Amino acid sequence: MDKTNLRPDQIAFISNSYIFNEIDTEKALIFDFRTKKQFQESSIHKYSINIPYDEIDANILDDPNIFKNNSLAKFAHTDFLVEYLKSSMRRFIVIIMSEDKISKDYIYKNMSLIQQKDSSVFNDLIMKPLLFYKNLMIIKKREFGLFQKGFSSFRFSFPFMLSCNNLAPEIL
């Protein structure tokens, strides 16, 4: 694994409208790092895979073969998403960090600690999405972005795109 640190100039932050446009053209694959409970309450159901930051091991996210060995398929809650995941290298990958906004300054200030992977030192809420982001860079994924503005801001801007309290029974 590449041990270089992720630099602030390497992060592509994306907006609500950017996510909307990618979903509208059916090009987006969303990795939602919110908790399972938050995801169940409200999500972009058709295109979202919930990877709860409080349940996933950081080593899985740091594996450069994460897409080749299909490690993420167990998080896909529909057959559609399992198939969609197989074509992930042709999709725009959106990484939703959290329910609430995390400031860019806070991310920049703490990103040098992702190599430590120590929950007692670094907040999993920040570390795990950044590890996944860094891994996408290492495997040379070309189109992906980090959404740090909080899912609640997307929910406010585009409520018609959400599935609320009616997710597939297998993930409840």
Four-residue CA torsion sign, 78, 82, 87, 90: positive
Please report, rounded to a whole number, the percentage of residues in the chain having pLDDT higher than 70: 85
Residue-level pLDDT at 123: 77
Domain 8-171 superfamily per CATH = Rhodanese-like domain (3.40.250.10)
Residue 48 per-residue DSSP state: E
Residue-level pLDDT at 113: 65
Asked whether the predicted pLDDT for residue 118 surpasses 70, the reply is: no
What's the predicted TM-score (pTM) here? 0.87
Asked whether the predicted pLDDT for residue 165 surpasses 70, the reply is: no
Which whole number is the average pLDDT over 96-115? 85
Q: Is 109 helix (H, G, I), strand (E, B) or coil?
A: helix
- Residues 132, 33: Cα–Cα separation, whole Å: 10
> pLDDT tens across 124-160, in order?
888 899 989 988 988 888 899 999 999 999 999 988 8
- Residues 95, 30: Cα–Cα separation, whole Å: 6
Residue-level pLDDT at 142: 84
Nearest alpha carbon to residue 62 among 115, 109, 108: 115
